[in-house]
Amino acid sequence: MTYLAKPKLHHPSLGCNAIGFTRRDYEGKISTLCAGCGHDSISAAIIQACWELDIQPHRVAKLSGIGCSSKTPDYFLGQSHGFNTVHGRMPSVLTGASLANRELIYLGVSGDGDSASIGIGQFVHAIRRGVDMVYIVENNGVYGLTKGQFSATADQGSVSKKGVANTDSPLDMVTMALQLGASYVGRGFSGDKKQLVPLIKGALSHRGAAFLDVISPCIAFNNHAGSTRSYDYVREHNEAVNQLDVLLPRAAIVADYEAGDTIDVEQHDGSTLRLRKLDADYDPRDRIAAMNLIQQRHARGELVTGLLYVDAGAGDLHGHLGTVEAPLNSLGAGELSPGAAALEKINAALR
Ligand SMILES: Cc1ncc(C[n+]2csc(CCOP(=O)(O)OP(=O)(O)O)c2C)c(N)n1
Ligand code: SF4
Ligand SMILES: [Mg+2]
């Protein structure tokens, strides 16, 4: 595998966050993706979000599958834990890691091929179980790494670089995530960092299954006229329903919007999601309304972006299963093997 290490030095005037890290401390190796690939912009947004949230890099575990998108965890958070799994298998490895140690922040990065084709079953079950994670799909409508075949998210009628139209119906992963019970669902665009950074920050602050579909054009195979995943097409057909600010507990909450134009959602970690409504009728706390709007706009060839749904009180898999707080590798022999008397009690209860 090719990679280029970045020099450790950084400019002394770079600003530090509240825990003393510069933005440089959240970067990874030098990217080997095509210059202009949307995926690199998403990596930059992840770096910015983690820096702004003062996350300690060693508290993050980044997991991915196979694809150009799944290569990107090498290019951000170089001081975090990482696991590049098998094609489409990131969700199950993430679920296991999360159950073994709930103290880390789990960030799954995948592609539309990785998650909507070979990994669709894994995606479905991780979301419906409410695994506490941020699950990002870098959606370019093609298998970029294997030279641009249509993926399952490609729109019907979308034309390939060689001029062939896609005949299959698309999967919309946002609609699926909503239907499956994800408690934080958003759609972003790699070309809109102003929208994407707060979407990622909100997802990182959320407890439960947070899903982000980020449209991320593949400049090598899917950025031409006739594609519905090109930079031009997405810019022209992108309708944002809201603008998100993530307000941290320590920061003063400044009321800079008209009352009635905003929705505030308190998250379990004390942060507030402040949503400025761009669509006056859109309420991101209504799952059914979100699904309806996405489908209506999709029928018109439009993409709805922003924070589409949030339920801050939904909980997660740990809460559903009643797992122990402590990481499993910190449990002693006494806790793992409670002895013959406890076993006898369990056996008696089952007789
Ligand atoms: C089991 C298996 N099947 C097929 C492949 C070939 N393969 C590698 S990446 C990929 C698709 C990647 O597409 P996507 O997840 O959308 O990532 P992108 O490159 O577009 O970011 C495929 C089919 C593989 N590596 N392993
Ligand atoms: S082939 Fe496409 S997805 Fe892969 S790095 Fe190049 S532009 Fe990005
Ligand atoms: Mg892809």
Q: Name 111's bridge partners.
A: 138
CA of residue 168 to ligand 1 center, whole Å = 19
Distance CA 87, CA 220 (A): 21
Whether 140 is in the pocket of ligand 2, judged by its Cβ within 6 Å, is yes
Of 86-100, 188-202, 334-348, the least confident? 334-348
Which of 32, 34, 70, 230 best tests ligand 2's pocket when mutated (most atoms within 8 Å of CB)? 34
As assigned by CATH, the class of the 23-321 domain is alpha beta
Q: What is the pLDDT of residues 273-283, one digit of tens each?
A: 999 999 999 99
As a whole number of Å, the CA-based R_g of the chain is: 21
Residue 313 has pLDDT above 50, yes or no: yes
Whether 34 is in the pocket of ligand 2, judged by its Cβ within 6 Å, is yes
Distance CA 124, CA 256 (A): 39
Which of 2-11, 254-263, 329-338 ranks highest by mean pLDDT? 329-338
Residue 10 has pLDDT above 80, yes or no: no
Nearest CA to ligand 1 atom 26: 87
Nearest CA to ligand 1 atom 2: 87
Name the closest ligand to CA 120. Answer: 1
Q: Are 307 and 186 in contact (CB under 8 A)?
A: yes
Percent pLDDT > 90 in the chain is: 89
Nearest to 152 by CA among 163, 165, 164, 140: 140
Whether 68 is in the pocket of ligand 2, judged by its Cβ within 6 Å, is yes
Ligand 2 atom closest to the CA of 40, numbered from 1: 8
Nearest to 213 by CA among 153, 300, 159, 258: 153
Task: Give the model's pLDDT for residue 257.
Answer: 56
Which of 66, 70, 71, 115 best tests ligand 1's pocket when mutated (most atoms within 8 Å of CB)? 66
Task: Give the model's pLDDT for residue 11.
Answer: 79
Amino acid, single-letter form, for residue 294? I
Distance CA 32, CA 46 (A): 17
Q: Are 46 and 214 in contact (CB under 8 A)?
A: no
Q: What mean pLDDT is predicted for residues 152-159?
A: 97
Task: Give the model's pLDDT for residue 334.
Answer: 86
Q: What is the pLDDT of residues 99-147, one digit of tens each?
A: 999 999 999 999 999 999 999 999 999 999 999 999 999 999 999 999 9
Residue 255 has pLDDT above 90, yes or no: no
CA of residue 120 to ligand 3 center, whole Å = 14
Whether 227 is in the pocket of ligand 1, judged by its Cβ within 6 Å, is no
CA of residue 67 to ligand 1 center, whole Å = 5
Residue 316 has pLDDT above 50, yes or no: yes
CA of residue 140 to ligand 2 center, whole Å = 9
Domain borders along the chain are 23-321
pLDDT band per the 50, 70, 90 thresholds, residue 247: very high
Rounded to two decimals, the pTM is 0.95
Distance CA 244, CA 55 (A): 19
Name the closest ligand to CA 222. Answer: 2
Ligand 1 atom closest to the CA of 69, numbered from 1: 21
Q: What mean pLDDT is predicted for residues 195-218?
A: 98
Q: What is the pLDDT of residues 331-348, one digit of tens each?
A: 998 888 889 999 999 999
Residue 258 has pLDDT above 90, yes or no: no
Distance CA 226, CA 157 (A): 8
Ligand 2 atom closest to the CA of 111, numbered from 1: 3
Tokens (6 digits) for 6: 């970045």
pLDDT band per the 50, 70, 90 thresholds, residue 1: very low
Q: What is the pLDDT of residues 283-294, one digit of tens each?
A: 999 999 999 999
Distance CA 260, CA 6 (A): 47
Report the mean per-residue pLDDT for the chain.
Answer: 94
Name the closest ligand to CA 146. Answer: 1
Q: What mean pLDDT is predicted for residues 41-66?
A: 98
Whether 69 is in the pocket of ligand 1, judged by its Cβ within 6 Å, is yes
Nearest CA to ligand 1 atom 24: 87
CA of residue 34 to ligand 2 center, whole Å = 5
